[in-house]
Amino acid sequence: MPRIISIAESVPPYSIEQEKVMDFAEKLFKESFKDIHRLLSVFQNGQIEKRHFARDLDWFEVDHTFEEKNDAYIESAVKLGAEAITSCLKNGDFLKNEIHLEDIDAIFTISSTGLSTPSIDARIMNVLPSSQYTKRIPIWGLGCAGGAAGLSRAYEYCLAYPKAKVLVLSIELCSLTFQRNDRSKSNLIGTSLFADGVACALVCGDDSGYEKVIKKNAAPNIVGTQSTTMPDSEDVMGWDVKNEGLYVVFSKDIPTIIESWLQPNVLRFLNTNGLDVRDLDHFIAHPGGKKVIDAYVSALKLPEDMTKTSLDVLKEFGNMSSVTIFYVLKRFMESAKEGDLGLGAALGPGFSSELLLMRWE
């Protein structure tokens, strides 16, 4: 089965404590909400301590055009994306030897927070030494589910082409979509939650020669995947595209939807593979927020310690949309044992879920 043999993060340069972002939000939103101090509790209740951004907080205190924000997205995406690819292919924690980018057969590039044609992967290939024959598969618009979906599509690619080595590069610069003049509660919640991040994973087919470079005794083999889209749920999560750029759509009902919809979805997937929730050693969840994690625990009857890693990532980095599950998975790849079974899960616009079953072998 295709396996994930290396993973690396590229952390944006500006680390900002949650208290500072809360002060920024109070100044911005206080004239729009009479109960601003009650609403600001979302900054503390979310248990995020700091986040990382592509620009310093001062940058967000003035208006920027859609063009300016998107130019900043392209600039940072190319720089941080190139760093993540390089780190992934040279990661001494997971690899015995460096893998050259020229040997990569395909790159899946995941993003939902900026626009670029040619796509970001093409721009990076002009910065790093690459094969001109590398296949480029950019995937846009899957939001928080995009990282898990990218790994799933890479798994399917390597099933079809077992000699392949494939990169999944996820780039989300959520802060650059910020709308200063959007005084909605969705924007306030988004301001408390979303962050910037970049990560890259290397997925290898069975006949790719991965045995010569893999360093860990065990790596997560992807056993199976499932994609599910809820009918008539377009208004749960996503973007409204307006003249000024991307406006966040973020329903307050998401935790409730998770509790009612996710359980049968997960059980169907596990049962198809002859398994039950009790068979899982790890729950590799995209931490959409503290309430989302609580909804996972409630819906699936999970022991609370199974979401500790996801909560730790949320606390340190916030919700980096599609990227976040890579940060969570990396921590499991550093510590999981041979024979361990993990379920990767992420939710995104559609409203949709992406599930991956992984066994460390």
Let me know if 144 is a catalytic residue. Answer: yes
Judge if 275 and 133 occupy the same domain: no
pLDDT, mean of residues 328-354 = 93
Query: Tokens standing for 211?
Result: 């045995």
Structural domain including 7 reads: 3-212
Judge if 185 and 306 occupy the same domain: no
Judge if 266 and 129 occupy the same domain: no
pLDDT in tens, 293-319: 888 888 888 888 899 999 999 999 999
* pLDDT given at position 299: 85
Q: Active site residue: 144, 174, 200, 204, which one?
A: 144
Judge if 125 and 15 occupy the same domain: yes
* pLDDT given at position 180: 81
212-215, long-range: CB within 8 Å, 24+ apart, which pairs?
Answer: 212/96, 212/97, 213/5, 213/95, 213/96, 213/97, 213/99, 214/5, 214/94, 214/95, 214/96, 215/92, 215/93, 215/94, 215/95, 215/96
* pLDDT given at position 44: 78
Judge if 275 and 166 occupy the same domain: no
Judge if 125 and 256 occupy the same domain: no
* pLDDT given at position 120: 97
Judge if 237 and 126 occupy the same domain: no
Judge if 199 and 229 occupy the same domain: no
pLDDT, mean of residues 162-186 = 91
Reported pTM:
0.94
CB atoms within 10 A of CB 185: 14
